[in-house]
Chains A and B, each alone.
Chain A
Amino acid sequence: MNEPKSSVCITVNGVEHRCEVPTRLSLVDFLRETLRLTGTHVGCEHGICGACSVILDGDPVRSCLMFAVQADGHSITTVEGLANADGSMSVLQDSFCETHGLQCGYCTPGMLVATHSLLKTNPNPSAGEIRDAISGNLCRCTGYQQIVDAVQLAARRVAAGNGNR
């Protein structure tokens, strides 16, 4: 049986991509292998680890649990799209560095996407709310505490109008 394909138009980080994709290609494989946006990590490939989290039409979702064909006509923001326009790190990304919110870095794109989405709707989250927002993202290095610290630091910096160090 030939590999069935379908045409899609997907906007990723503000850039429109029109191409033909195998129907079974997962969204994360489309991002990483077709578009070469390898910031999004692929971990468990069955919706457990959260490393592949991306923002779909404003909401965080797991890109391993979607086929690229389902994103036809939709907008995706990946971790590459979270940085400032000049390519420098966002306040949140910088705060992850400051507080040692990452060690091996495997979970980091998913953590950034999850916590970026949290801060958009809740600019001053409690530690409990942060833990809830990252409950679908596994990290085996940090013990999570430094990630919570990073998000709180980012929230304080933004509130103080002091985005950059």
Chain B
Amino acid sequence: MKAAIFEYARAESIAQACSLLAEHGADAKLLAGGQSLVPMMAMRLARPAWLINVNEIAELKSSRRDGAVWVTGAGLRQVDVERDGELARAVPLIRQGLYWVGHIQTKNRGTVGGSLVHADPSAELPLVAQALGASFVLRRNGSERTVAAADFFQAPMVTATEPDECLAEVRWPVWQGERVGSAFDELSIRHGDYAIVAACAQVEVDSAGRCVRAVLGIGGAASVPVSAEAIARSLHGTQLDDTTIEAAVESIGQYLDPGSDVHATAEYRVHLARVLAARVLRRARDHAAGMARGTRA
């Protein structure tokens, strides 16, 4: 349980991290919070020849509103993001998802960007990013590109990030309406474990309670977190009553390709996805109604 030997460098800026990546390419890994990478190194599932520490890079730790998006630096600690009240009001699903992530000792080190580039198909932050349609700003020596969540998550633990790229920031859409509600729920063996299945939803309703916008995401039941776009769209214009929601999520299996393991069969995962999808949609609806009452009061 000891990591194999590696060369080490501490980057002081994103540019320096990118230069080091350009130099060492596929033999190098960025080390952020290390809560997934270090166990993999201990088990020798990962053996990078170079480890580039990005924990001391201040520019990776910004958090700011930029019009209709909230921009989080990739190096922000999960605990700091979870405690940020302004961010929680702007993009409530981030805090709602982080509630389920690990434990205080791992959240004190784990970063937002680290969890996203690790891209475990059951992980909470990738699910929220996929459902909301977040985008990812990837830097390499001398250039930058932005990748949509739909293109970012490619396979279990595989993202669009190239070996010489560093995730600099994540851009989360802010829904600016008055009646916006969201919810996250999951089933895991113990709190803090990876989800067997996770679901999240965000809805916006008009003054008559009609749904004008909705997203629904499912994690842990396919090779990447999925956004159930057709189901979410079918809810537009409805009152989001329980019967409508139940009927809409009936076809959730079309998005999923779950495996069977010691924790749950594939069939059970599809069943769970249906139950959790309906539950988060109902809660998001009620949350939106509560927001509207709060606004009037």
Chain A residues packing against B (C-beta within 8 Å): 1, 3-4, 6, 22-24, 26, 29, 44-47, 50, 53, 56, 59-62, 64-67, 69-70, 72-73, 114, 117, 132-133, 135-136
Of A47, A50, A72, the residue contacting B38 (CB under 8 A) is A47
Who on chain A is nearest to B7 by CB?
A4
B residues engaging A (CB < 8 A)? 1-8, 10, 31, 34-35, 38-39, 42-43, 51, 53, 55-56, 79, 102-106, 108-109, 190-192
CA distance A21 to B35 in the complex (A): 21
Asked if B105 contacts A136 (CB within 8 A), the reply is yes
Chain B nearest CB from A21 CB (Å) reads 10
The CA of A86 and the CA of B229, in the complex, are separated in Å by 63
CB distance from A104 to the nearest CB of B (A): 21
Minimum CB distance partner of B4 in chain A: A24
A44 to B39, CA, bound (A): 10
Interface of B is mostly: loop
Chain B residues closer than 8 Å to A56, beta-carbon distance:
108-109
Task: Find out whether the CB atom of B35 lies under 8 angstroms from the CB atom of A70.
Answer: no
Contact, CB under 8 Å: B38 / A67:
yes
Tell me what chain A mostly uses at the interface: helix, strand, loop, or mixed: mixed
- A66-B38 CB under 8 A given contacts A4-B7, A23-B51, A135-B192: yes
In contact, B105 and A70 (Cβ under 8 angstroms) = no
- Which listed residue (B53, B102, B103, B190) contacts A70, Cβ 8 A? B53
A22, A29, A114: the one within 8 Å of B105 (CB): A114
User: Within 8 Å CB of B34, what residues of A?
Assistant: 65-67, 70
Contact status A22-B192, CB under 8 Å: no
Q: Most chain-B Cβ atoms within 10 A of its Cβ — which of A50, A72, A114, A135?
A: A135
Determine if B105 and A46 form an interchain contact, defined as CB atoms under 8 angstroms apart.
no
A59, chain B: closest CB distance, angstroms: 4
Residues on A with C-beta less than 8 A from B53 are 69-70
Q: Which residues of A contact B4 (CB under 8 A)?
A: 24
Are A22 and B35 in contact, CB atoms less than 8 angstroms apart?
no
Nearest residue, chain B, Cβ from A24? B3
| Contact present for A114 and B39 (CB under 8 Å) | no
Return the contact of A136 from the options B1, B3, B51, B192 (Cβ within 8 A). Answer: B192
